[in-house]
């Protein structure tokens, strides 16, 4: 009789450091649900690639749709290029980080967020948009 190998079970909360909640800074924000050590990549499972679109392709869209691009895109090349998820239905928690000029989160060249310092449980995560986006909020 063969012995069954016990599989390592991964829980949905493994690798999760944050949740969405009401923010005093702006509407919805991202909050730590546990201590986050300095240097930790905060959204390790967020591997979605950005889709880059030219502003020209967005020109004739309805105002409400254009607002999605304004609110949830990374803007480059003097406003000519918009980086967004493949579908706005796939926005992850990271898209809700609010802006601060004294951030606790940094963004690397691949748009992955990491803790600039230790972040306490309950603390709101913030980033300096100007470090990766030409047009902050």
One domain, residues 99 and 33: yes
Which tens digit of pLDDT belongs to each residue from 76-127?
A: 988 889 999 999 998 999 999 999 999 999 999 999 999 999 999 999 999 9
Label each residue of 2-54 as H, E or C. Answer: CCCCCCCCCCCCCCCCEEEEECCCCCEEEEECCCECCCCECCCCCCCCCEEEE
Mean confidence (pLDDT) of the chain = 90
Query: Is 34 a domain residue?
Result: yes
Same domain, yes or no: 86 and 97: no
List Cβ neighbours of 29 (8 Å cut-off, separation of 6 or more): 20, 21, 22, 23, 96, 97, 98, 124, 125
Residues 87 and 110 in one domain: no
Q: Residues 72, 57: one domain?
A: yes
**Domain ranges, residue 81:** 49-91
- Give this prediction's pTM: 0.84
- The answer to whether the CB of 99 falls within 8 A of the CB of 79 is no
Residues 74 and 100 both lie in one domain: no
Is residue 3 in some structural domain? no
Classify residue 96: in a domain, yes or no: yes
Residue 62: is its pLDDT beyond 70?
A: yes
Q: Tell me whether residue 56 is in a domain.
A: yes
Count of domains forming the chain: 2
97, 112: one domain: yes
Token code pair at residue 122: 């309950």
State whether 84 and 58 are in the same domain.
Answer: yes
> Is residue 136's pLDDT more than 70?
no
Q: Percentage of residues in the chain with pLDDT exceeding 70? A: 91
11 is a domain residue: no
Same domain membership, residue 99 and residue 42: yes
pLDDT tier, 45 (very low <50, low <70, confident <90, very high otherwise): confident
The pLDDT of residue 12: 87
Same domain membership, residue 33 and residue 98:
yes
On whether both 84 and 29 belong to a single domain, the answer is no
Asked, for residue 82, whether it belongs to a domain, the answer is: yes
């Amino acid at each position: 009789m063969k012995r069954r190998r016990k599989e390592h079970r991964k829980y949905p909360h493994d690798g999760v450091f944050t949740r969405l909640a009401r923010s005093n800074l702006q509407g919805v924000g991202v909050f730590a649900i546990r201590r986050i050590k300095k240097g930790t990549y905060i959204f390790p499972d967020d591997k979605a690639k950005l889709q880059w679109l030219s502003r020209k392709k967005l020109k004739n869209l309805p105002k409400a749709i254009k607002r999605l691009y304004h609110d949830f895109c990374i803007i480059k090349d003097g406003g000519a290029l918009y980086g967004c998820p493949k579908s706005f239905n796939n926005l992850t928690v990271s898209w809700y980080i609010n802006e601060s000029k004294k951030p606790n989160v940094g963004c690397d060249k691949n748009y992955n967020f990491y803790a600039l310092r230790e972040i306490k449980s309950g603390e709101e995560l913030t980033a300096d948009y100007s470090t990766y986006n030409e047009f902050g909020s």
